[in-house]
Amino acid sequence: MEIFIIYSANNSLLSKAIKCYTKEKYNHVSIALDVELKDTYSFGRKKINNPLIGGFVKEDFKDPFFLTSHCSLYSLEVTEEQYESIRKIISYFETNKELFQYNLLGLVALSMEYCIERENAYFCSEFVAMLLTESKIATFQKKNQFITPKDLLALDNLTKVYEGQMIDYLLNTVRYEENNAYASFA
C-alpha cells in the first residue's frame, strides 16, 4: 500500500511571503491516501479567499485556487496496518473538525525556534508529522512542532512521482485512469 506526500506552493500573496521567508520552493504539505488525490488532507485555509481562517481541511486540488499551484508529489510505501491507522486518525479529524484550528501561533514560534504545544491546533507539516508518527511510519529527531515541509523530504523510502503544475498532474492521472478503464473493457 502507499500514501502520498504533496508539497505545494500557490500564487497567493501569503504563499509568496512564506516562500520569501523560508527560501524554499514549496511551503505547504498535505497527505493523500490515493494517487488521484481525492482523499487529501492537511491544515490550511478553510475558505479559499481568506487565508486567516484555517483548520483541518480535505483539500480539493481541482479547485481553481489549487490548479495553478506548483507541486511535488511523493509516494511512500506503508503496511496495511499503518494505512488503516492513518485512515482512522483522519476519520476522527473529519468527524470532529470543528474542534481543530490552524496553529498560527505555533508556526510563528517555529520561526523563532521556540516550541509551543497547543491542543487541537496544527500547521500543515506538524499535522503530517503527527500522522506519520502516530501510525508508526516515521520517527523524527525533534518534536512535531518543529517539523517543516523540508524535514519531511528526508523520510526514508520517499519516491518522487511527479513535479510540476497540479493541473497537469490531475489531467494525466485522469487520462491514465480512463485508458486503464477502457483497456479493461476491451
With cut-offs at 50, 70 and 90, classify the pLDDT of residue 91: very high
pLDDT beyond 50 at 185: no
Distance between CA atoms of 32 and 58, rounded to whole angstroms? Answer: 10
Domains: count for the chain? 1
Q: In this structure, what CATH number is given to the domain that contains residue 17?
A: 3.90.1720
Whose cell is 487541537? That residue is: 120
3-59: pLDDT as tens digits: 999 999 876 655 556 665 666 778 889 999 999 999 999 998 777 676 677 899 999
* pTM, 2 dp: 0.87
Range of the domain at 119: 2-185
DSSP E strands, the chain:
2-9, 28-32, 40-47, 50-59, 70-77, 101-102, 121-122, 158-165
Nearest-angstrom CA–CA distance, 45 and 55: 7
CA atoms within 13 A on the CB side of 186: 6
Per-residue pLDDT of 113-138, as tens digits, reads 887 888 999 999 999 999 999 999 99
Separation between Cα atoms, residue 75 and residue 124, nearest integer Å:
18
For the chain, give the percent of residues with pLDDT over 90. 52
